[in-house]
């Protein structure tokens, strides 16, 4: 188990994020139109996985906005914003905010993404949601950067994640 905090209170996730140098686990997530997408659907692209508990919280929303702004100029890269929110909530948020440079994906159907990436929170108020993390994959699906944000109420290190894509 990995230990993170929520407002200073220690909580556990399933374990450690996929390590730099290893291939990322495949996934099946739900797009806003309720179709399914997997890792292989992004073959040949670099991916920035912005993972968070819920798009309806301030810090989660801020990370989606920031990566949307920063991703606009990065070639052959997709930013995937992943949470257990319903696809309808994700679509509503991005539509209201005018965000077009990120792809929101939901793990609401099975929670397997959170389990396979060891992100699932194990106890407390956010139990079963995803912890805040950023994982960057190269064109082959290999992890080239990861950050498990130690305090859920903190934003990720945007610059370090973006630097990994350069």
Q: Which residue ranges make up each domain of the chain? A: 19-107+133-165
Place of tokens 């989660």: 60
- The phi-psi region of residue 100 (left if phi > 0; otherwise alpha if psi is between -120 and 50; otherwise beta) is alpha
The strand order across the sheet containing 133-137 reads 36-38, 28-30, 103-106, 77-83, 46-51, 133-137, 143-148
pLDDT in tens, 3-30: 998 998 999 999 999 999 999 999 999 9
- Residues belonging to the active site: 60
Which residues make Cβ contacts (< 8 Å) with residue 7, sequence separation at least 6?
151, 152, 153
What count of residues does the chain have? 166
Candidates 146, 143, 149, 157; CA nearest to 130 is: 149
With 0.85 as the threshold, say if the pTM is over it.
yes
Q: How confident is the model at residue 55 (pLDDT cuts 50, 70, 90)?
A: confident
Per the CB < 8 A criterion, the answer to whether 119 and 16 are in contact is no
CB atoms near residue 2 (< 10 Å)? 17
Which residues make Cβ contacts (< 8 Å) with residue 49, sequence separation at least 6?
A: 80, 82, 133, 134, 135, 136, 137
- Answer yes or no: are the C-beta atoms of 9 and 121 closer than 8 Å: no
* Residue 41 neighbours by CB distance under 10 Å: 13
154, 36 contact by CB (below 8 A): no
pLDDT at 94: 67
Contact 134, 124 (CB under 8 A): no
Is the confidence at residue 120, as pLDDT, over 70? yes
CATH topology classification for 19-107+133-165: Glutaredoxin (3.40.30)
Residue 64 pLDDT > 70? yes
């Amino acid at each position: 188990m990995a230990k993170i905090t929520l407002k200073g209170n220690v909580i556990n996730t399933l374990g450690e994020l996929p390590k730099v140098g290893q291939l990322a686990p495949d996934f099946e997530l739900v797009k806003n139109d309720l179709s399914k997408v997997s890792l292989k659907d992004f073959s040949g692209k670099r991916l920035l996985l912005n993972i968070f508990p819920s798009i309806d919280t301030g810090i989660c929303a801020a990370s989606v906005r920031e990566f949307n702004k920063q991703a606009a100029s990065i070639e052959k890269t997709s930013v995937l914003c992943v949470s257990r929110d319903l696809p309808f909530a994700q679509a509503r948020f991005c539509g209201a905010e005018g965000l077009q440079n990120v792809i929101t994906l939901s793990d609401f159907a099975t929670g397997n993404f959170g389990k396979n990436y060891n992100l699932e929170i194990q106890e407390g108020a956010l139990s079963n949601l995803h912890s805040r993390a950023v994982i960057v994959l190269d064109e082959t699906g290999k992890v080239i950067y990861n950050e498990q944000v130690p305090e859920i109420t903190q934003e990720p290190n945007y610059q370090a994640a973006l630097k990994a894509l350069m």
